[in-house]
Amino acid sequence: MDLLELQVQFSKEAAGIAANLITFDDNFKAISLIHGRGCHIATEIWHLLRGGFSDGAEARWRTLYELSIISEFILLIGEDIGKRYLAYESVEIYKFYNAVINNYESLDDDLDPEIRIDYEKAKKTFYVAKKDVESYCEV
């Protein structure tokens, strides 16, 4: 367990060092996001194992493996995949804010003035993400 904890710490420190040494192209940004998520998941695995939840740790380990495969794929294919990976965030934002707007619209006139301001902000974010998604789908 101590070795796993040490490995996670080394991984986090390596990310900090790499951030200072490597230029930020789209591949590096995508791999950095995946690496950060991997460090988070590795920490979860460590806590699950410490708590005796080996089944949960194994499930998270599979997720960590999937992240490593995605990273290798991005590195093998090249720059275009890194851009597409980063662009997919707009799709997630679009889905999320679509659900938020539907929830607000189901409340309709029952919105407080403060909540209505949040609703208007959500609509703006939704339309920006929608435009981004549409532009990516045209390519």
pLDDT for 24 equals: 72
Judgement on whether residues 137 and 73 belong to the same structural domain of the protein: no
- Which residue among 77, 95, 110 closes a domain? 77
Alpha helix (H) ranges present in the chain?
A: 2-21, 26-50, 54-77, 79-107, 113-138
The reply to whether 6 falls in a domain is: yes
Which two structure tokens, joined as six digits, stand for 93?
A: 């934002």
At residue 23, the pLDDT reads 67
- Residue 138 within a domain: yes
- Tell me, yes or no, whether 18 and 49 share the same domain: yes
The 10 Å Cβ neighbour count of residue 38 is: 22
The answer as to whether 82 is a domain residue is no
Query: Domains in the chain: how many in total?
Result: 2
Question: Do residue 67 and residue 99 come from a single domain?
Answer: no
The residue segments making up the domain with residue 91 are: 87-139
Residue 107 lies in a domain: yes
Residue 29, domain member (yes or no): yes
pLDDT in tens, the chain (139 residues): 777 777 777 787 777 777 677 667 888 888 888 988 998 999 999 999 999 999 999 999 999 999 999 999 998 987 788 888 888 888 888 888 888 878 777 766 666 777 778 777 888 888 888 888 888 776 5
Give the pLDDT of residue 138.
66
In this structure, the answer to whether residues 101 and 139 fall within a common structural domain is: yes
71-94 per-position pLDDT tens digit: 999 989 877 888 888 888 888 888
Please check whether residues 63 and 91 belong to one and the same domain.
no
